[in-house]
Each structure stands twice: as structure tokens, then as C-alpha cells.
Amino acid sequence: MSGERPPAFWHTPRMAPAKLAAPLALAGGLLWILHALIGGGSDPFAAVLHFLGLACVLAAAGLFGSGLVKSDAVGMRVLVGLASALLALSVVEAFRPPDSAWYDGGWGIVAALLGGIALVRRRGSGRTSGGAHSR
């Protein structure tokens, strides 16, 4: 038993949390669009769609914001991530009309477009993870 090697996942690099921002934004946007397509409302299914979409969009904004901090100060990353999520929430809620089924759907389109564009740009960039001289 002493000669066994650890599983392969111990040696794989961890994915940066900021890379989850684009798929979360896309998922949250699609959930809000689906919420708008079914007519919104306050039935349980629509409420779950709205809440999950909101959670995905806020998590995406927080992860994106934490990725803006280049230092290793965890406290600063958390603070900027929370501020980014709260800013996204305040922008969405500040202009909410009294009765509009497509308000969140409009923001869903914006979030889905931004997340989709970020995913396409990341896949098409052809960047290597080791830098320009690592070949």
C-alpha cells in the first residue's frame, strides 16, 4: 500500500472561480427568459425559476467582481465580489415597473448574451495556460 499513487485529480490544477461567471450568467439569463415565457406570476414553478435565475445572475456578478482583484488578499476578493453582486441586484431592482412580466426577461436576455459571448470568446481565444513562452 505504501507504493500507491494518489488519484489523478490530486494533480490537476483547480479551476478559477471567475471562470464560472460566464456559465452562471448564461444559465441565470435563460432561467429568467423561461420565467418570462411562461408568463411570470407567483405560482411555485415560476417563483423557483425566478429565484434560481436571480441566484445564478448574482453569483455570476460576484464571481466576475472577485476576479477583478489581482492580489491574493481573500478579504478584498470577497468584498469586491459582494459589492459586484449587490450592484447587479440594485441595477435590476431600481427600475422595476409595478407590473411587467417581461422586465426580468429583458435582463435575462442581457445576462444570457453577456454569458454566451464570454463563453464563445474564451473557447475561441486559443490561449494556453502557461503563457506565451511555455511551448
Residue range 45-103, pLDDT digits in tens: 988 999 999 999 999 999 999 888 887 788 898 999 999 999 999 999 998 888 777 88
Identify the pLDDT of residue 40: 78
Phi-psi region of 41 (alpha: psi -120 to 50; beta: other; left: phi over 0): left
Identify the pLDDT of residue 5: 58
Report the C-alpha gap between 12 and 109 in whole angstroms: 35
Question: If 0-12 CB within 10 Å is exposed, 13-18 middle and 19+ buried, where does residue 130 land?
Answer: exposed
The three grid cell numbers given for residue 26, joined into one nine-digit string: 448564461
Q: Which tops the pLDDT comparison, 11 or 94?
A: 94
